[in-house]
Amino acid sequence: MRTALVIGTGLIGTSAALALAARGVAVHLADHDPEQARTAAALGAGIDKEPEGPVDLVVVAAPPAYVAAALADAMRRGLGRGYLDVASVKGGPRRELEALGLDAALLARYIGTHPMAGREKSGPLAASGDLFEGRPWVLTPTRETDTEVLNLALELVSFCRAVPVVMDADAHDRAVALVSHMPHLVSSLVAARLEHAEEAAVRLCGQGIRDVTRIAASDPRMWIDILSANPGPVADLLSEVAADLDETVRALRALQSSDDAERRAGTDGVGTMLRRGNAGQIRVPGKHGSAPQVYETVTVLINDQPGQLARIFADAGTAGVNIEDVRIEHATGQQAGLVQLTVEPQAAPVLTTALRERGWAIRQ
Amino acid sequence: MRTALVIGTGLIGTSAALALAARGVAVHLADHDPEQARTAAALGAGIDKEPEGPVDLVVVAAPPAYVAAALADAMRRGLGRGYLDVASVKGGPRRELEALGLDAALLARYIGTHPMAGREKSGPLAASGDLFEGRPWVLTPTRETDTEVLNLALELVSFCRAVPVVMDADAHDRAVALVSHMPHLVSSLVAARLEHAEEAAVRLCGQGIRDVTRIAASDPRMWIDILSANPGPVADLLSEVAADLDETVRALRALQSSDDAERRAGTDGVGTMLRRGNAGQIRVPGKHGSAPQVYETVTVLINDQPGQLARIFADAGTAGVNIEDVRIEHATGQQAGLVQLTVEPQAAPVLTTALRERGWAIRQ
């Protein structure tokens, strides 16, 4: 790929443009708001000028509601050899494109894609050429998609150092509903229970509810857009959750019964749900997207002086131990906390001994 | 307090005994399994012998199902001046005690308590005198509770360096249902959706679902015990979640409508739920149990070499910046990742500049 046109220079578009430009691709930038395109150009993402002839790849990174129109316009004007979009939902844009009456030869030049990357900030100033590094980037070719176009998309993904994943468009939409949209709404539902809770109860919050509700802090406007583009699969999944939820409530009510058999049924019902949760949780990919691996945790008590974390990590480094993950659990109302260091099982005793020798309080 | 008897030398009982012994209290240890009491004694938690006369405080740290019987037995034998239990649910033990026919004068010597601390491991070998450090420790006195007994309990909490929180027993049970038991089951329900999901979909999991489902990995047997002791309040809360869930599904279905007014109603419904989630999430206490504070995040790109985290923290320490929290996000299929450092807003530019100068790749 030698030339590209990025239409829509927000976070995703500008990040892709930066990655392409870094590989020597001549990138043209366009945006509904010329100021945005100018900013992206100033960041080194390309030049904010229309290309004179067709480019190799047109990347449409417009907001979801404008994607199909922007694609159709670019395709009719023949701006590129291949076209792709990066919207977070894939069935809708394709169907809209088809409804816009583009002919089959043009549609074969289009491939829907979705890089699984993002961040809280938006706009070109938040962009970065390494935004996609190591992230899955879904490609949804159809049987009609031209192989040259698929290869252009794969080249973009490779330049962005993302990991290509090929899926059917509707399977993609169900997958993101499962791993992202449904959990997001459920997190909001749990958090919503705290809205009018008594202060004394809220004080008892620990790390568990903190983790479950973290993503409920996201911007509602952005999520209304995301959910509006994928309501069907999300509603289907939430209905399945609702059915399990009803069963769980029934099991808990049975636990209140004075009848032994009913209580046993309640125990079984709750136990089944917890074990199904275990079975699902273990499938969540851990580090490096590899198969789940069992790690051990070494817990260190710290007070909250600057530099304590640095010393712990330095001491771990001296001992030759690689920290896989770290979690800081702050104590309530005190300048103290626990640092949980996740390491490979064989490294746990090494780390424990090394930290003890250097005077750290380890919770065995 | 000069003497104490700890009945039940598992994680919680032994940890409390260690904290008391460290303050010079003569601690006696008892357990259904004498081997456990012997282990606790060997760890320095006290002596595994019955006291010869009444102790100041009897701490019952038996499994929930045995708490009331163990308390009643100790109280009838007059083993102490004051009695408390540490079970995770508080309404049940009190009602069971009353049902066992203890007279009012004896009941006034009992106070139900619940230290909000724990860990994945159990048994005396997992115990630690600092297990409760900085954690809320709920006390549930009634109007009948003797002030001397309340003060003995407060002394224990203080020796354990926990933070006392006084609540009504039933309010406590509703509070732990809200901040712990309900979120736990909801986490399991989300995770359960992954059990039979396609591998391609599971590959798309990101940090959001990882956080939401983390606690679904817990031991089902332990959680069956916890939930069995508090089924009513948990079922009530799950029913409220179910009602919100049904409304959310209806709003999503409305978003699929071809009718503009209905779609607008769907947008409003989804938006309301997301905003209620925002309002609840912001109440979750952050660091130090203080009022929620706005922090900023500085994101550093690392490859996965040992020592990189140590260098980042050392560089932050040199710059005089205190890291409030840290989150490592590993990239899929690659030896690289992002380290998100949470700092106070005024420290963010300082840290960014300092790390840049030392050659770190910062994602702005």
Give the domain ranges of chain B.
Answer: 3-167, 175-281, 296-363
Written as six digits, the tokens of A88 are: 């977070």
Which residue type occupies B203? R
Any idea which of A172-176, A306-310, B96-100, B304-308 has the lowest mean pLDDT? B304-308
Query: How far is C-alpha A45 from the geometric centre of its chain's CA atoms?
Result: 24
Top pLDDT among B5 and B103 is at B5
**Under an 8 A CB cutoff, do B213 and A284 touch?**
yes
Using alpha carbons, select from A21, A53, A253 the residue that is nearest to residue A127.
A21
pLDDT higher at B294 or B249:
B249
Among the residue ranges A80-94, A150-164, A348-362, B66-80, the one predicted with the least confidence is A348-362
Given an 8 Å threshold on Cβ–Cβ distance, is A249 in contact with B267? no
**Within a 10 A sphere around the Cβ of A280, how many other Cβ atoms?**
25
Alpha-carbon distance A196 to nearest alpha carbon in chain B (angstroms):
8
Tell me the three state secondary structure of residue A89. Answer: coil
Rg (CA), chain B: 25
Distance of residue B11 Cα from the nearest chain A Cα, in angstroms: 11
CA dist., res. A58 & res. A60, Å (int): 6
> So what's the pLDDT on residue B364?
62
Which amino acid appears at position A355 of this protein?
Answer: L
- pLDDT confidence of B228, banded at 50, 70, 90? very high
Q: How far is A52 from chain B (nearest CA, A)?
A: 33
pLDDT of residue B306: 64
- The 8-class DSSP code of residue A181 comes to I
Element (H, E) at B85: strand B80-85
- Average pLDDT estimate for A42-48: 95
Domain B3-167 grouped into CATH 3.40.50.720: yes
The DSSP call for residue A81 is: E
Backbone angles phi, psi at A301, to 5 degrees: -90, 130
Q: Does position A30 have pLDDT exceeding 70, yes or no? A: yes
Q: Scanning every residue of chain B, which has its alpha carbon at the shortest distance from the alpha carbon of A238?
A: B249
Task: Say what the pLDDT of residue B288 is.
Answer: 44
Region A14-21 average pLDDT: 96
Instruction: State what percent of residues in chain A have pLDDT above 70.
Output: 94
Does residue B177 register a pLDDT over 90?
yes
Give contacts of B281 with chain A, Cβ < 8 Å.
191, 194, 213-214, 216-217
Nearest-by-CA chain B residue for A269:
B224
Q: Which residues from B are below 8 Å from A264, CB to CB?
A: none
A279 exposure class (CB count in 10 Å sphere: 0-12, 13-18, 19+)? middle
Average pLDDT over residues A62-74: 92
CA atoms of A167 and A139, how far apart (whole Å): 6
Whether B322 has a pLDDT exceeding 60, the answer reads yes
A98-103: Cβ within 8 A, 24+ apart: A100/A68, A100/A69, A100/A72, A102/A72, A102/A75, A102/A76
Judge: A274–B213 Cβ closer than 8 Å, yes or no.
no
Rg (C-alpha) for chain A, rounded Å, is 25
Looking at this predicted complex, what is its ipTM? 0.80
Q: Is the pLDDT confidence value at B117 over 90?
A: no
Residue A290 burial by CB count (10 A; 0-12/13-18/19+): exposed, middle or buried? exposed
Integer Cα distance of A341 and A300 in angstroms: 8
Local structure of residue A299 (DSSP, 8 states):
E
Query: In angstroms, what CA-CA distances link A123 with A4, A6, A10, A120, A229?
Result: 20, 14, 4, 10, 21
pLDDT band of B333, cuts 50, 70, 90: very low
- Nearest residue, CB atoms, B163 vs list A185, A191, A332: A332
Quote the percentage of chain A above a pLDDT of 90. 68
What pLDDT score does A297 carry? 84
- Find which of B140, B281, B296, B351 to mutate to test the A interface (most A CBs within 10 Å of its CB): B281
pLDDT recorded at residue A362:
84
Written as six digits, the tokens of A159 are 């330049």
- Contact list, B253 vs chain A (CB under 8 Å): 231, 235
Minimal Cα distance from A325: which residue of B? B328
CATH of domain A175-281: 1.10.3660.10
A309 CB neighbours in chain B (<8 A) are 313, 317, 323, 326
Q: Average pLDDT, stretch B178-197?
A: 97
Q: Residue B94: CB partners within 8 Å, gap ≥ 6?
A: B110, B112, B140, B142, B169
Q: In this complex, which of B188, B192, B232 lies closest to A256 when CB atoms are compared?
A: B232
Residue with more model confidence, B85 or B287: B85
Tell me how crowded residue A64 is: count the other CB atoms within 10 A of its CB: 17
pLDDT score for B289: 47
pLDDT of residue A293: 54
Nearest Cβ partner for A278 among B211, B216, B287: B216
pLDDT of residue B327: 76
Residue of B180, B217, B224 lying closest to A267 (CB–CB)? B224
Of residues B113 and A285, more confidence is placed in B113
Three-class secondary structure of residue B7 per DSSP: strand
Answer with the residue of higher pLDDT: B164 or B118. B164
Q: A247 in helix, strand or coil?
A: helix
What is the pLDDT, as a whole number, of residue B278?
A: 96
Q: How close, in Å, is residue B179 to chain A by CA atoms?
A: 5
Closest chain B residue to the Cα of A333, Cα to Cα: B288
Which of the four pLDDT bands, split at 50, 70 and 90, describes residue B328? confident
Q: Which residues of A345-354 are buried (b: 16+ CB within 10 A; e: fewer)?
A: eebbebbbeb
Long-range contacts of B265-271 (CB under 8 A, 24+ apart): B266/A228, B266/A231, B267/A224, B267/A228, B270/A223, B270/A224, B270/A227, B270/A228, B271/A220, B271/A224
CB contacts of A40 in chain B (<8 Å) are none
**A18 CA: distance to closest CA in chain B (Å):** 13
On whether the CB atoms of residues A161 and B196 are closer than 8 A, the answer is no
- Is CATH 3.30.70.260 the right assignment for the domain spanning B296-363? yes
Q: Which of B179, B180, B267, B335 has the most A C-beta neighbours within 10 Å, making it the best mutation to test the interface with A?
A: B179
Contacts of B238 in chain A (CB under 8 A): 245, 248-249, 252
Whether A119 has a pLDDT exceeding 60, the answer reads yes
Average pLDDT over residues A20-44: 96
The pLDDT value given to residue A9: 97
Burial label, B290 (beta-carbon count in 10 A; 0-12, 13-18, 19+):
exposed
- For the segment A49-62, the average pLDDT, to the nearest whole number, is 96
Amino acid at A293: Q
